[in-house]
Amino acid sequence: MRARPATPGDAAAIARIYNEGIADRIATFETRLRSAEDVRAWFDGAHPIVVVEDGDGIIAFAAASAYRSRECYAGIAEASVYVARSARRQGAGRIALAALIESAQQAGYWKLVSRIFPTAPAWH
Q: Where are the domains of the chain?
A: 2-113
Mean confidence (pLDDT) of the chain:
92
**What architecture (CATH level 2) is domain 2-113?**
3-Layer(aba) Sandwich (3.40)
**Cβ atoms of 112 and 76 closer than 8 Å:** yes
Residue 41 has pLDDT above 50, yes or no: yes
d(CA 50, CA 30): 21
Bridge-based pairing of strands 111-113 and 76-83 is parallel
Task: Please give the average per-residue pLDDT across 69-82, as a whole number.
Answer: 93
**pLDDT score for 124:** 46
| Interval 68-88 mean pLDDT | 93
What percent of the chain clears pLDDT 70, i.e. is strictly above it? 94
